[in-house]
Structure formats: structure tokens, C-alpha cells
Amino acid sequence: MMRKRQAAGGSKRRPAMAGAAVVVLALGLAACAAGSGASHHAASQGALYQFVLGIWHGLIAPIALAVEIINKLAPHLLPWKFHVYETAAAGVAYDIGFYLGAIGGPWAAWTRGPWRR
């Protein structure tokens, strides 16, 4: 009887812990959004960094686009300034990574999502 209570209490904490981990991970990865200082620094490191940065920016492009539209319509509503594309990384490696991320990210999420059983 004691084990069931402990397991039930632990299972209630798991969704909260998972939710907190997702929020912390999202905030950490949002620091590398296009237009940020970290993104600008990574773009100046070379072709491999630009390629990986392009993949990341392609994956988060729908979210970045929504944030950029909100910032244009209501400039002081959100505390972030996102851009869809990193202008400091205008190179072939970044472009290829961006398009692979933009095309591959949503497609992979749709075909392998939890709703596709």
C-alpha cells in the first residue's frame, strides 16, 4: 500500500518536472534565435557553425515568424526581438542548413508526432 502512494505522488511530479525542463530548454535555445548576440557570434565562427545555426533557425522559423509579426503589430508587447533569418551568416552553408531545417523540421514533426500511431 505504501508503494502505491509513493508511485502516485511521483507520477504527479513527472509532468510538472517535464514541463519545467521543456521551458528551461526552450528559453536556453531561444537565446540562439536569429538576431541575438549569441547567434551573431556563432555566425562569425565558420562554415560548420553557420550550417548548424542555419538548421536551428530553420527549425524555429515558424515561431520566429510569429514573434516577428507580433513585434511589428504591437512593438512593446513581447520582450524579445527575433528575426527569421540571421543576416550576419549570409553564406551558402547557412542557407543550406536553414532550408534543411525549415523543410525537414515540420515534416519530421508531422510524420513522427504522437498523433501518428
Q: Which of 74, 83, 79, 76 is nearest to 33 (CA)?
A: 83
pLDDT at 30 over 70: no
pLDDT in tens, 62-88: 888 888 888 889 888 877 777 788 777
Q: How many domains does the chain have?
A: 2
76 with 100, same domain: the answer is yes
17 with 69, same domain: the answer is no
Range of the domain at 85: 32-112
23 with 36, same domain: the answer is no
44 with 99, same domain: the answer is yes
For cell 526552450, the residue is 26
49 with 97, same domain: the answer is yes
46 with 81, same domain: the answer is yes
The mean per-residue pLDDT over the stretch 104-116 comes to 63
